């Protein structure tokens, strides 16, 4: 590979449009801003990206994230088009937790959030839920899930984790997180446990400001 191609393989970006060749004015403007290309396919091809992450943000103003997701068939067409533009097979990712954080909601299996799964204490519940979610994603061409949420929900004032966590016991959260990762793997989807260094102990939403964890390592 050329140096440019090697650099591209270090990058996972986002692209605008509901198809790989979407030329809607919003998609054109977004791709020109973030990638210097007209279409999502061109961004993948010209920059040699290692991956893309799909969003359902639907924003239109400056700095807005794209709205890539409308319906299951459309998502499959988008991911297939992006893979077709890639010289090296793409990582295609989404934030598809169970519960409140799901980028794709139509045509997929809706499952209880991680806190509800953690309440049962059964690792097989977390494993099975992840396997089902992973199978849904794989069928739509998504092969990386930014899940499970491995945070330990230790701060009652936390505004953003809550039911996204398996609970407040570190050992239990560790067991359930490991089980979920194995469930995703069984479906052929790579898991990405989050959030380092422990968003569950903060009182600030990191989308809005910078949380600081002042605890010692112990």
Sheet-wide strand order for 12-13: 12-13, 51-53, 91-94, 144-145, 190-191
Place of tokens 């598809």: 96
DSSP class of residue 90 equals P
pLDDT value at residue 63: 63
Task: Please indicate, yes or no, whether the overall pTM of this predicted structure exceeds 0.85.
Answer: yes
Sign of the alpha-carbon torsion through 98, 180, 159, 95: negative
Please tell me the predicted confidence (pLDDT) of residue 217.
Answer: 81
- Would you give the DSSP letter of residue 66? P
Return per-residue pLDDT of the chain as tens, 218 residues: 889 889 999 999 999 999 999 999 999 999 999 999 999 999 999 999 999 999 997 655 556 789 999 999 999 999 999 999 999 999 999 999 999 899 999 999 999 999 999 999 999 999 999 999 999 999 999 999 999 999 999 999 999 999 999 999 999 999 999 999 999 999 999 999 999 778 899 999 988 999 988 888 88
User: DSSP letter at 194?
Assistant: B
∠ CA 134-112-116, nearest 5°, is 120
- Where is 132: in which H helix or E strand? helix 123-139
pLDDT of residue 62: 55
Structure confidence at residue 196 (pLDDT)? 74
């Amino acid at each position: 590979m050329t140096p440019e191609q090697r650099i591209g393989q270090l990058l996972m970006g986002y692209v605008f449009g509901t198809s790989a060749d979407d030329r809607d004015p919003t998609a054109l403007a977004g791709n020109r801003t973030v990638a210097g290309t007209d279409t999502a396919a061109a961004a993948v091809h010209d920059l040699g990206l290692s991956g893309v992450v799909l969003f359902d943000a639907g924003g239109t103003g400056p700095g807005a994230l794209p709205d890539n997701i409308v319906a299951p068939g459309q998502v499959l067409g988008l991911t297939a088009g992006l893979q077709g533009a890639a010289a090296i097979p793409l990582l295609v990712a989404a934030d598809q937790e169970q519960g409140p954080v799901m980028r794709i909601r139509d045509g997929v299996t809706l499952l209880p959030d991680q806190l509800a799964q953690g309440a049962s204490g059964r690792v097989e519940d977390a494993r099975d839920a992840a396997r089902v979610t992973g199978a849904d994603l794989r069928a739509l061409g998504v092969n990386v899930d930014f899940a499970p949420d491995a945070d330990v929900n230790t701060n009652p004032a936390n505004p953003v984790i809550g039911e996204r966590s398996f609970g407040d016991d570190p050992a239990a959260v560790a067991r359930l997180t490991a089980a979920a990762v194995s469930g995703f793997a069984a479906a052929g989807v790579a898991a990405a446990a989050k959030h380092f260094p422990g968003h569950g102990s903060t009182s600030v939403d990191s989308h809005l400001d910078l949380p600081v964890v002042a605890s010692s390592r112990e």
